[in-house]
Chain A
């Protein structure tokens, strides 16, 4: 497979009484290759060794990856099912007792049965996540629709990748997160990176990204903060949070005006150019600067560099996607590639930095409220029939489309949803407007949570089912590039914990749906059914067998049959996935953030990650090294702003919005706009910044606007001395 200049033949160190299990990290979409060190006497995972032969990351790992193995045998693991009989203790860690799987399953079947009998099939819901294998993601969709028979299933990708998905579907007619493999990145001439704190969120991309500059290429970064990558970028466009679409339109306007448009490509392979050209005309450098706060010269220079670059890649992440116009931002920046024809060839294209380990695969195979395996639509009768054939149900039995993640909490609040099966997610930290979300979870009649640690969300459950970590099961994951890779099992499940797919099969049997599930006895069985279910869909995994994945160092989808090696580069034939084969250049009117600063709330609050933590922090906050490096959240404030508020570095202050408040330590830094404050979101209970964030949803992707809302801060009252 691809062996580029970063690849070196290096032998691994194997210690006596140890074996190495080849696998990938449990965390982000980079899915760095790693070897888990397993003690052959105890059969327990005891450490990590680099996986030098993995072509994407050649042994490199971030601090989360290096310490990921510490999750498996951690003291906080839940080892047996837990039941809480006293519902008044919901929202706390208290009151759980250990129970047998039999008792837990019986209780769940009884309570779910009661709720559905009294309030209908759709009184139950499933809230899932994508930090797990394709096999688990696939089966969770089937579990909700076939075993529970509910329409209400959605997942945490709504807080992560849904805007990228929506934007790519509109622009290209297909949603593969990267149009090119990561091994191309260092060979391009210009990287235009918007809303990605790459050095902290996808650190193992950095050796390729820096290499672009070392070769004489350019890095342009769009971010309200001077992140580590922005610090060294050739150009840092320091925009106001939530104004990306204006910047994208402004750059597209300049690309057209300065003659960088590829007219032949536009004519042959795209629709929508004329309307877009007309719409972006108003986004002159001056007007764009007025909206975004970025100096006009910088905007002009960015367009010039991107326009001149022989090859360029437009990249973006949650910074532009977690907005109530996230889908428009994605299509807006994608317009840059389509107008200049810098796509559909090696070293040029568009990519989103996938947040979760299986953020790509997990969104394709039926965990989304309106999707079925293979990226099929639940609203398309043909698609429904195809999946019914695999599942052994009739189209009449297939539930209708449900609602998005945040909207499920609204239905819980309205008592339309009364029961919840939660897995692989921690919305009590990661959802916006947490006061509302936590109350909605508390109001449920019955809640099940499958997790390997007692998360903040598990505190609302009646039953907790102990699941396994990634290292105690096997299956496939689709990484940031769209490459399907294999996670291998390194250890037997700890205690009585079980993989999610096994719990769902066993629960389905309790619920009388054994005929649709009982044949799934291993992860491989699920994989075989899943490949078949994806066959013929736009995300076709049929040809991606485990053997081929092993042999080829992964398989890029689409991969339609045994003879197909997969598709590392998308659109090489310049054929896009819309019915006429053309891509869509989108005319997108600008909208400001849902909540603009005002006299009462004059600051712009934005949120994000730090390098030491992953998502809601349920895993990483338990790892000593990571906890030592970043034990608590903080609020980044520019020194001039801190001065105005008479606040000092390390002082604890109150930060608040229309929805909630929290107390944070001030971190004074010049690496942020004066009108903006930043807080990392990995923390629970009263430290969660999502108590303050706004649930303004994108009309298409239903993504909440985590990245921009209006806030205010004040000094704490000095403690009264008695």
Chain B
């Protein structure tokens, strides 16, 4: 059953466990490939992860003059092939979220590959495995549809972010507001 990374932004507690765990994936050379931001640090403790969304038609790959960025059959947009990457950083500039990182010493780009050595076998990526708050989850299509139905309130105030992201993405995101419309038990 195909599973996807699903992001519930409202749950983030800013612990950055996802960054620490990213280094533990076999193919990641102990360097993390994701981001967590303090949204408004002088005001409150809201934080949000910024992960590669693994676009279906990724700007990074399109912009790569060396065709170094491959798309895996699972849809994961892989890190640049070391032998092809020319270190031009087009990908970082092209990505609407600035995801690809750059190794100055090796003159190579590196990015999230959705822990391809795990996810190719249906095992959750490290970030979603450890996330203590369930901000990052590894869900089936069905589970994601359920979430989408639940959070699509159709009240003009708020709907899930999915239609508003740039293009279609393999990773699904839910903007803050999941509790809006939750019926209280009492």
Contacts and interface: CB of A to CB of B under 8 A. Distances in A.
A119 interface: no
Interface residues of B, number: 39
A10 to B, nearest CB: 6
Interface string B100-144: 000000000000000001100101101001111110000000000
A207 B132 contact: yes
Interface string A207-219: 1001101111110
Contact of A214 (B23, B43, B182): B182
A13 B19 contact: no
A670 B46 contact: no
Contacts, number: 128
A100 B126 CA distance: 43
Contact of B178 (A47, A199, A214, A218): A214
B88 interface: no
A231 B44 contact: yes
- What is the interface residue range for chain A against chain B? 35 or more
A203 B132 contact: yes
B7 interface: no
B170 interface: no
B13 A629 contact: no
Given A189-B185, A210-B11, A611-B15, A11 B132 contact: no
A669 B179 CA distance: 25
A682 to B, nearest CB: 15
A185 interface: no
Given A216-B183, A228-B45, A669-B41, A206 B13 contact: yes
A639 B132 CA distance: 31
Interface in B4-23: 10-11, 13-17, 19-21, 23
Given A210-B133, A216-B185, A13 B17 contact: no
B184 interface: yes
Given A200-B15, A210-B134, A668 B42 contact: yes
Contacts of B47: 228
Residue in B17, B46, B132 with the greatest tally of chain A CB atoms within 10 Å? B132
A231 B124 CA distance: 29
A199 B20 contact: no
A189 B23 CA distance: 37
A235 interface: no
Given A48-B24, A210-B134, A217-B185, A203 B45 contact: no
Interface string B150-186: 0000000000000000000000000000110011111
A356 to B, nearest CB: 18
A63 B41 contact: no
A52 interface: yes
Interface of A: 10-13, 15, 47-50, 52, 59-63, 65-67, 189, 199-200, 203-207, 210-211, 213-218, 226-229, 231-232, 308-310, 611-612, 625, 629, 639, 649, 668-671
16 contacts: A11-B121, A15-B26, A50-B126, A59-B129, A61-B21, A61-B130, A62-B130, A200-B13, A200-B15, A207-B11, A214-B178, A215-B185, A216-B184, A228-B13, A228-B14, A231-B46
